[in-house]
């Protein structure tokens, strides 16, 4: 491994970083940052869709978009379920770069498929709402 990019040995790291790495708190921090990343990605996706309104056939307001978009709390639950299922935050020795990349791709794929399935079924369930609720979709 290239010594310029290799992680510092535990003995040469600062005491606080050593305590966090060895106590398992880093896994909790990883989980918190991942959940925050999902929340930020959801907000950015909503903002991107709204900014693309002039180029889309169907122009949606923020309120209309919230009706057809899965709620953030459902996506966060999906991420947590995928992380538990794939054991993403269990304590293990520092994985190689290839293993870490594979785990990120695997968890992203599971989360993406789960989100697509939930989105599909949430729109199907919405079809049972009164016709006025989704009148904007029939323009």
Domain range summary for the chain, segments of one domain joined by +? 10-138
> pLDDT tens digits, residue range 94-120?
667 788 788 878 888 888 888 888 777
Q: Judge whether 39 and 6 are in contact, CB under 8 Å.
A: no
Q: Judge whether 45 and 68 are in contact, CB under 8 Å.
A: no
Q: What is the pLDDT of residue 40?
A: 92
Structure tokens at 100: 């870490």
Please tell me the distance from the alpha carbon of residue 138 to that of residue 127, in angstroms, as a whole number. 12
Please tell me the distance from the alpha carbon of residue 72 to that of residue 2, in angstroms, as a whole number. 41
> pLDDT tens digits, residue range 33-59?
888 988 999 899 899 989 998 888 888
Q: What's the average model confidence in pLDDT over 26-39?
A: 85
For residue 82, give the nearest of 105, 51, 52 by alpha carbon: 105
């Amino acid at each position: 491994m290239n010594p310029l990019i290799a992680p510092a040995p535990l003995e040469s790291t600062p005491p606080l970083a050593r305590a966090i790495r060895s106590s398992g708190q880093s896994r909790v921090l990883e989980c918190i940052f991942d959940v925050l990343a999902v929340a930020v990605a959801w907000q950015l996706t909503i903002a991107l869709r709204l900014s693309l309104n002039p180029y889309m056939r169907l122009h949606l307001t923020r309120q209309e978009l919230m009706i057809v978009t899965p709620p953030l709390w459902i996506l966060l639950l999906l991420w947590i379920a995928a992380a538990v299922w794939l054991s993403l935050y269990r304590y293990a020795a520092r994985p190689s770069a290839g293993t870490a990349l594979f785990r990120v791709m695997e968890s992203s794929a599971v989360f993406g498929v789960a989100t697509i399935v939930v989105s599909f079924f949430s729109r199907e369930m919405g079809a049972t709402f009164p016709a006025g609720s989704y009148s904007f979709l029939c323009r």
